Structure 1
Amino acid sequence: MSTAHLGTDTSTSSIGAVKGTMYGGQNPVSGAAVYLLEANATAYAGPGITASTANASKSLLTAASNTTADSNGRYYVTTDAGGGFSLTGDYTCDANQVVYLYTLGGNSGAAVNPAIGMMSVLGVCPASGGTLAAVTPYVWVNEVTTVAAAYALSGFATDATHIGYSGSAAGLVGLQNAAANFKNLVNVGTGVVNQTTPGSVTGIGNIGTVPYQKINTLANILVACVNTASSNSSACSTLFSNAQSAGSSGTIPTDTATAAINIAHNPGSNTSALYGLQTGVGTAFLPHLTAAPNDFALPVSYTGGGLNGGFMTVVDATGNVWVSNYFGNSLSKFSPQGVVASLVGSRAVV
């Protein structure tokens, strides 16, 4: 995979025609508001940073025949009875910036639930001559994509509508690399968790193993709230009280996407209580964990790169990961998405 885009291009590019589907577990979500957002390029958001107008994500949809404005003046499209939605080619994004979808509310079969919040990442807006639709023409939005987006973007996210960086070149590289790692965790076109990273090559030791059972468990935890009839349901109340901004304290989330971001920020908090929410959701996402984990961190395990007793790790300015090997007097190099520079080695977690 390539590394992040660099540069300070101030041009805009067309989004292109993008279609998608939103599901809660195995049920389509109808009547949900679908927002097209771009990460803020002037102010950081992230763990411990207060949400404000200064670091709010930029809304990209505008007034059109199929859009509606909310009370804050942000436009959205609405999912149909089958959970489907369409974005026309009439909208633009800022070159090199990260674009994502955020959905709010809707009915997954029980009743309209304003606590339903989901996310999926479209990618990096092309610099010129291209469209996001050329890279991501179809996007699935469900609890798995929400978990993947929450964890991938968590370093830059205060909540689902406040994701941003300072505008520096280094900040842009970090955010772009974070967005690229979203697709390491999930197939955006199907909403199914990846078991290995897309750059993996079996048989020659170049494999990234994704903690797919843990991701499915986190998705099932969100399903417990999503597929209820009210934001005040027992499942939603349990989720939100155990997924506050500081884990067991701080700001209480009001939607499942922000709850997922808070869990990513505090992976060791309230694991048993959160795991217990999976019990009532049946087989929404399988396979899943069969016991509560020690934490909900999501490390990806990589094989290759000549790793041989790795003991020191550094990250360079473009996000490449370098590991010193105790044996062999060598260095192993991984791209920001975990692709190795050589095809032999032993197992390590990066």
Structure 2
Amino acid sequence: MFGITSGGGRVRARQAALAVTALLAVTGCGALGSASTSSPAGGGGLEKTTLKVSILPTTDLAPFWLAQDNGYFKAEGLSVDSVIAASGQASLTKSISGEADIAFSTYPPFFTAKSTGAADMQLVADATSVNAKSNAIVTVPNSPVKTVYDLADKKIAITAKNTASDLLTRSVMQDHGVDFSKVKWVLIPLPNIAAALQQGDADAAYLPEPYITQAAKTAGAIPVIDINTGATQDFPLTGYGATRKWVHDNPKTLAAFQRAMQKGTHEALNDRAQVEPLLVRFAKIDEDTAKLLTLPGYGSTLDSRRLQRVPDLLLQLGAIPRSIDVNSMIGPQAGK
């Protein structure tokens, strides 16, 4: 290309050609390109390039959907498939069984599994915390419940015992000196709670968004008390976890997932206009509800001091048999 003419130049050219050939042999990059795909940003040599993540179609998943839609997973060399679960516990089960690599859930199932010895789970990414008006105990106008002090011996709808809905409701009642020992806990799936309130099957209910906004529209539901108060203010709500074995076997894949989630979380925190269409598409929320609802507090980095609040509350309320040191459950984090 540069018109090498001298004898010394020809020698140097041959030496350069040999050096390039040797380099190609070492890196495995040949002219045919069978092994020449470029490494993803910061994630070369992933143990797995296809990742299965068990999720729930809730507003908490906005950063995950943004990471998919905006190509952040793809940029890390990952192809991510969603596996829909019916509940946080069901999501966790999919990870334990190997049906999913990573599970999204509210935090209690992770700590319950650890405390009871059911599974050795590690937390790999944060997702959401309680935000003002994002989670509440609600009622309807014809209910005997008017304030938090009326809850003592009433029928309260939750999704299941020892879940976030149960624990946060009991914690708020305890903060206000309300006895929950005589409460009749009614176990109802979230989509059916508004109808149960209308029909008198429950006097009050724990609801997260978007169900608060939907119940207000369909049943005239009104908040009794915001969960974002007292001991449950800014309470860690949801996150992602995997078995300790999976984390150990797939460190580069995990780091790639975490980097993509960090970018998705940044977008969710700073651009609601990107979030609302995803809630319509994936969480099956109508456009009006997506505009009106209160989003949870999104996060991606795990803070052990903050997360320690969850097992401490579980232990205090008798939901787990022994204390847990959260530090023992936090997996490696990209960038730390």
TM-score norm. by structure 1 comes to: 0.22
More helix by share: 2
TM-score norm. by structure 2 comes to: 0.22
| Structure with greater contact order relative to length (CA < 8 Å, sep ≥ 6) | 2
More strand by share: 1
Structure with the greater alpha carbon radius of gyration: 2
